[in-house]
Amino acid sequence: MELPGLAVAFWIFLCFCAFVGGYPNGKVREACTSMIPCHGSSPQRSPEHTIAVNSTEFKPGDNIEVRLSGPDFEGFFIQARDADHLDSPAVGSFMLVDRRRSQLLTCGRTKNSAVSHTNKAKKKDIRVHWIAPGDAPKRVQFLATVVKKYRTFWVKVPSPIVSQPGVLSLTTPLRATTEAMATSYPVSYISKPFSASGCGSMKFCIRNPSNCDPGSTSCFFLSFQKEENSVLIEMSGPSEGYLAFALSLDQWMGGDDAYLCINEDHRVRVSTAHLMGRSRPLLDSKSALEDVSWRLADGVLQCSFRRSIRLPAYKGRFNLDASYYIFLADGEASEGGLIHKHGHQPLITGGLCNVTGPPQDIGGSRSPRLIKAHGALMFVAWITTVSIGVIVARFFKPVWSHSFLFGKEMWFQVHRMLMLTTVTLTSISFVLPFIYRGGWSWQAGFHPYLGCAVMALTIFQPLLAGFRPSRHAPRRQLFNWFHWSSGTTARILAVVTMFLGMDLPALDLPNPWDTYTMIGFVAWHVGIDVLLEIHSYCLIRKVEVIEDDRVQILQSLTSAEAEGHLFKQIVLTIYVCGNIVFLVAFLIAINHI
Q: Which CATH architecture has domain 369-592?
A: Up-down Bundle (1.20)
pLDDT (tens digit, 9 = 90+) per residue, 139-196?
A: 999 999 999 888 788 888 999 999 998 775 444 333 322 222 333 333 346 778 899 9
Give the mean pLDDT of 14-31.
50
CB 320 within 8 A of CB 303: no
pLDDT at 370 (0 to 100): 83
Assess whether pLDDT exceeds 70 at residue 341: yes
First to last CA, the chain: 75
Q: For all residues of the chain together, what is the average pLDDT?
A: 81
The Cα 224–Cα 204 span in angstroms is 5
The Cα 221–Cα 210 span in angstroms is 10
| Helices marked H in 466-512 | 476-502
Q: Is the peptide bond before 346 cis (omega within 30 degrees of 0)?
A: no
Alpha-carbon radius of gyration of the chain: 35
pLDDT band, residue 23 (cuts 50/70/90): low
Give the mean pLDDT of 387-393.
88
The Cα 115–Cα 111 span in angstroms is 11
CB 157 within 8 A of CB 186: yes
pLDDT (tens digit, 9 = 90+) per residue, 201-256?
A: 999 999 988 889 998 888 999 999 998 899 999 999 998 889 999 999 887 777 88
Assess whether pLDDT exceeds 60 at residue 8: no
Model pTM greater than 0.85? no
Give the mean pLDDT of 388-413.
81
pLDDT at 511 (0 to 100): 63
Give the mean pLDDT of 528-542.
81
Give the mean pLDDT of 42-64.
86
The Cα 470–Cα 482 span in angstroms is 15
Cα-to-chain-centroid distance, residue 212: 17
pLDDT at 454 (0 to 100): 94
List strands edge to edge, sheet with 204-208. Answer: 187-188, 290-297, 300-308, 230-238, 220-227, 204-208, 361-362
CB 409 within 8 A of CB 439: no
pLDDT (tens digit, 9 = 90+) per residue, 282-297?
A: 777 667 888 888 888 8
Q: Identify the weakest region by mean pLDDT among 172-181, 391-400, 528-537.
A: 172-181
Domain spans of the chain?
Answer: 50-163, 188-365, 369-592
Give the mean pLDDT of 389-413.
80
Q: Which CATH architecture has domain 188-365?
A: Sandwich (2.60)
The Cα 122–Cα 124 span in angstroms is 7
Identical fold for domains 50-163 and 369-592, yes or no, is no
- Quick one: which of 264, 285, 286, 283 has its CA closest to 273? 283
- For residue 356, CA distances in Å to 197, 265, 323, 382, 530 come to 17, 34, 9, 45, 61
What single-letter DSSP state applies at residue 397?
T
Give the mean pLDDT of 310-315.
82
**Beta carbons within 8 Å of 503's beta carbon, 6+ residues apart:** 509, 511, 514, 515
Assess whether pLDDT exceeds 80 at residue 428: yes
The Cα 292–Cα 226 span in angstroms is 16
CB 571 within 8 A of CB 531: yes
Cβ contacts of 173-181, under 8 Å, gap ≥ 24: 173/291, 173/293, 173/304, 174/291, 176/293, 178/55, 178/56, 178/57, 179/56, 180/52, 180/53, 180/54, 180/55, 180/56, 181/52, 181/53, 181/56
Report the share of the chain in percent with pLDDT over 70.
Answer: 82
Assess whether pLDDT exceeds 90 at residue 92: yes
Assess whether pLDDT exceeds 90 at residue 348: no
Q: Identify the weakest region by mean pLDDT among 50-64, 86-100, 108-122, 492-506.
A: 492-506
* Max Cα distance, the chain (Å): 118
- For residue 514, CA distances in Å to 379, 576, 583 come to 12, 20, 12
* Assigned CATH topology for domain 50-163: Immunoglobulin-like (2.60.40)
Give the mean pLDDT of 442-457.
89
Look at the chain and count its residues.
593
SS3 374: helix
CB 27 within 8 A of CB 43: no
pLDDT at 47 (0 to 100): 81
pLDDT band, residue 39 (cuts 50/70/90): low
Assess whether pLDDT exceeds 50 at residue 334: yes
The Cα 214–Cα 242 span in angstroms is 17
Q: Between residues 27 and 64, which one has the greater pLDDT?
A: 64
pLDDT band, residue 335 (cuts 50/70/90): low
Assess whether pLDDT exceeds 60 at residue 589: yes
